[in-house]
A and B are shown apart, each in its own frame.
Chain A
Amino acid sequence: MALTKIPSVLYFGLETLPVDVEVNVASRGLPGFEIVGLPGKAIAESRERVKAAIVNSGMEFPSRKITVNLAPADIPKEGSFYDLPVAIGILSATTDFPIPEKSLFFGELSFDGTLRHTKGAFLLALFAKEFGFKNIFLPKDSVNEATIFPSINIYPVERLSQLLAHLFNRQKIVKAKRREIDDLGLGSSEFDMREVLGQEQAKRAMEIAAAGGHNAIMIGSPGSGKTMLARALPSILPPLSDQESLEATKIYSASGNIPPGASMIKIRSFRSPHHSTSLAGLIGGGTNPQPGEISLAHRGVLFLDEFNEFPRSVLESLRQPLEDGVVNISRAKASIKYPARFMLIASANPCPCGYLGHPKKECTCTPREIKKYVKKISGPILDRIDLHIKVPIVDVDELSQNKRTAKFLESSESIRKRVCQAREIQQKRFQSKAICSNAEMRNKDIKRYCSLSKEVEKILNQAAISFNLSARSYFKMIKIARTIADLEGFAEINPAHMAEALQYRQ
């Protein structure tokens, strides 16, 4: 048989489309090897890899005219995973072994015939499920990513020759078993909240942020511990729910961020891009739009240290994703939608020199400089940040000697327990809704889920007058109060919850 057809897949952002890999080995014509169907650079170079891998696996590479077509021919294709289907197609055309029904071949070949970890295995498994495929042959290192559905047979392939032995029925490859997902890395954050001395209020704010998925900004002088607080945040975050884990893994799989051998993402991601990050790097972009930091932080934390130092255009681009939880990236070649529901944790200095309000050092900035500095963050962005936290300088020597303070040092584990309980309450509350946390509530959800007693409303209205709260701040306060009530396990928001929420106003 000179023509074989192997089903494969095409990635389009997080979406998948079926593709046919058609391999024609002609009996006439000058020897050659061509791939058509708008292949990307990685696919065009696949010819060399396939040729070398076949030869180095002890097989003969046919010296005939080989043409590979990736159909449909008018959609551009990217990725190195077509190596395996192309190689199988060529060998099947020349040596005439049967290709098993409803099977997918996936993986990048090495010159010596071994298969390398290839990105996108998780999406492939979802695709296989959707289109009713039965078997997937893929690199051993990528297997854990794909073993999510028991109905699909996953075959871990180490080298090309091993796969051929399996197809010729000489030696079968053992199917991969579904691995129990281990709680890898849970609680193994850089810092424990116990290590952060002082900063009681900031820590409480972190707890509220973690519990309700609220965005927060920390303002304080250099050395006050903003970065440390943010880095300790993952230690009090609740684990991802199954649905959230699925969403996050999709993005990580598509962008090749799942390390070899790893399975689904179970812990919330913590991304902290440097302030020199470009707009495309943060939001996503490229000719073939790739997910940016905000999508990689989906259902996790996006920590922007030195918030004021980010270019204004980059910060402003956060507005729409902060509101909608998705980002649409349109380029000449494609327009792709990536989810981006993240918790924004920002940190900033109070002034350009950083020492405004410092107990010992003198601030050398003029009011004009400070005004200009503060203005770098626009109102619409600050409006979308629920918790505003002031982080004062802490005298660490004094605190570490003070025994009384030890009483207040709570470990991340016990904070996390409260956070998880609060999240459970929220999950129940929003069961019928597309949202998961208090922070995602729109105004109409607030009206529905946060009924305020007369007493609470009175406090809030009075605060609106004495603190000059804007309409948006007004609703932010209700959201925060809701989270505080959830942390304490109250069904109703009571006056104390509202009063505490007011501490974190803009």
Chain B
Amino acid sequence: MSNIIYIDDEKYPKLLKQIGKEAPKQLYFKTNTLKTNIFDNCLTVVGSRKLTSYGKQAMEELVGKIALAGITIVSGFMYGGDAVAHQAAIKAGGRTIAVMPCGIDRISPEYQKELYQEILDNNGLIMSEYKGNMAPTLWTYPQRNRIAAGLSKALLVVEAGKKSGCLITANYAKKFKRKVFAVPGPITSSITKGSNALIREGAEMVLSAKDVLKYYRSDLALRKTNFFESLSPSQQAGEHAQTSRFKNLPSKLRALNKNPKNIEEQIIDLLKREPLGADELSRQLEMPVSELGVKLSILEMHEIIKLRGNKYGIN
């Protein structure tokens, strides 16, 4: 189902209209269930195409919680950061809007067909200012960023290089007087140079989903929708999940463990600090990798830790 909204339509997103001359004259969109309140509480999330495992982890955690609170996640359907943002929102049961850099009938990049379908199936929205089967070009990407920035009252940047599309979006957001949030990254990584610079320039640093949700709270309170209270149990659950899951470890696992200090706890402590590979863990715990592998498999099987690339991290 494809549709058009014109700028003077009532359904036209209000925030987007506010950007004045730069607001697109018409918007094409695809959706299974059109609910205009999808535009009410939007957060645009952008991240590098080459998200690091840290960036991915941070984004999954933040976006998951934010989407759970009922905030629509807007992103640009690019691979990497954008795709992760969409996926995290869908996984949390939230809604997401994909702003395409190409004609509304085209899926670009086309190998993300599955994600495209998932967005539609989960009450999401696909949107573009271009009609038909137009191919994306170099200049349509920044134009798309303009709409993405305009749709939301805030922008969350997870990882952005020094000269990146994410910074273009951030510049639009500043221009439209939107709030900019940025996730801090290691100062040594080239992929977080841009997002760290944003923080120095005044973007709000995000250390947890709460930092973003606080900003939306005043608005939500007005609507008398108590998002926060409905959120807190699950959030609490999230925070305590690791320890409680750990307590639920089968007793035979404990029996396997001859060391009274409990290797599993030591592994978890180390991984809470930073993700590590099996070799590094074996060195730090001074434990042969054959024994360590046993623990890792079982912790992974109970979804307490997770292998990302070559390294284990807390799930």
To the question of whether A and B form a pair in one complex, the answer is yes
Complex CA distance for A203 and B283, rounded to whole angstroms: 14
Contact B289 A204 (CB under 8 A): yes
A362 lies within 8 A of chain B by Cβ: yes
A357→B303 contact, CB < 8 A: no
Q: Is B256 an interface residue (CB 8 A)?
A: yes
Instruction: Contact check, A408 vs B109: say whether CB atoms are below 8 A apart.
Output: no
A506 to B302 Cα, complex, angstroms: 18
Known: A362-B190, A499-B294, A499-B298. A200 touches B79 (CB 8 A): no
**B279 vs chain A, min Cβ distance (A):** 5
Q: How large is the interface on A (under 10, 10 to 19, 20 to 34, 35 or more residues)?
A: 35 or more
Q: Determine if A367 and B294 form an interchain contact, defined as CB atoms under 8 angstroms apart.
A: no
B7 smallest CB distance to A (angstroms): 35
Contact of B80 among A367, A500, A502, A503 (CB under 8 A): A367
A164 at the interface (CB under 8 A from B): no
> Is the Cβ of A200 less than 8 Å from the Cβ of B289?
yes
Name the interface residues of A452-468: CB closer than 8 Å to any CB of B. 455, 459, 462-463, 466-467
Q: How many Å lie between the Cα of A503 and that of B278 in the bound state? A: 10
Is B191 at the interface (CB under 8 A from chain A)?
yes
Q: Mark A347-383, 1 if CB is under 8 A from B, else 0.
A: 0000000001100001100111001000000000000
Interface presence of A390 (CB below 8 A): yes
Query: Is A278 among interface residues, defined by CB-CB distance under 8 A?
Result: no
Task: State whether A201 touches B297 (Cβ < 8 A).
Answer: no
Distance in angstroms between the alpha carbons of A394 and B278 in the assembled complex:
12
Q: Does B187 contact A (CB under 8 A)?
A: no
Interface residues of A in 190-204 (CB under 8 A from B): 198-204
| Nearest B residue (CB) for A357 | B309
Which of B277, B291, B302 has the largest number of chain A CB atoms within 10 A? B277
Among A356, A404, A499, point to the contact of B293 (Cβ < 8 A).
Answer: A499
Whole-angstrom CA separation of A503 from B301 in the bound complex: 11
B79 lies within 8 A of A367 (CB) = yes
Indicate if the CB atoms of B297 and A463 lie closer than 8 Å. yes
Q: How far does the Cβ of A468 sit from chain B's closest Cβ, in whole Å?
A: 12
Set of chain B residues within 8 Å of A400, measured between Cβ atoms = none
Interface status of A75 (Cβ within 8 A of chain B): no
Q: List CB contacts (< 8 Å) of B278-296 with chain A.
A: 278-279, 282-283, 286, 288-291, 293-296
A 462-489 to B, binary, CB cutoff 8 A, 1 in contact else 0: 1100110000000000000000100000
B36 within 8 A of A: no
Query: In the bound complex, do residue B111 and residue A496 qualify as a contact, i.e. CB atoms below 8 Å apart?
Result: no
Interface residues of B in 34-91 (CB under 8 A from A): 49-50, 53, 79-80
Instruction: Give the CA-CA distance A486 to B296 in the complex, in Å.
Output: 21
Segment 56-114 of A: residues with Cβ below 8 Å from B: none
A368: which of B111, B278, B293 is its contact (CB, 8 Å)? B111
- Say whether, besides A199-B279, A499-B298, A366 and B190 are in contact (CB < 8 Å): no
Once the chains bind, are A363 and B279 in contact (CB under 8 Å)? no
Contact indicator B282/A408 (Cβ below 8 Å): yes
The answer to the question of A405 belonging to the interface, with a C-beta cut-off of 8 Å to chain B, is yes
- Chain B residue, CB-CB nearest to A484: B290
In this assembly, does A428 line the interface, its C-beta being within 8 Å of a C-beta of chain B?
no
Give the CA-CA distance A155 to B296 in the complex, in Å: 63
Residue pair A363, B50 in contact (C-beta under 8 Å): yes
Q: Which residue on chain B has the smallest CB distance to residue A365? A: B50
Evaluate contact between A503 and B297: CB separation under 8 angstroms: yes
> Shortest CB–CB separation between residue A425 and chain B, in angstroms?
17
Q: Which residues of A contact B53 (CB under 8 A)?
A: 357
Residues of A within 8 A of B291 (CB): 496
CB distance from A211 to the nearest CB of B (A): 12
Q: Which of A198, A200, A390, A495 contacts B256 (CB 8 A)?
A: A495
Quick check: B293 and A204 within 8 Å, CB to CB?
yes
Nearest 8 Cβ contacts at the A-B interface: A357-B309, A200-B289, A502-B297, A503-B293, A499-B297, A499-B294, A500-B293, A392-B310
A residues with CB within 8 A of B: 198-204, 220, 356-357, 362-363, 366-368, 371, 390, 392, 394, 402, 404-405, 407-408, 455, 459, 462-463, 466-467, 484, 495-496, 499-500, 502-503
Could you list some 16 contacts between A and B, CB below 8 A?
Answer: A198-B279, A200-B289, A362-B50, A368-B109, A392-B277, A392-B279, A392-B310, A459-B298, A459-B301, A466-B300, A466-B303, A496-B291, A499-B295, A500-B294, A502-B297, A502-B301
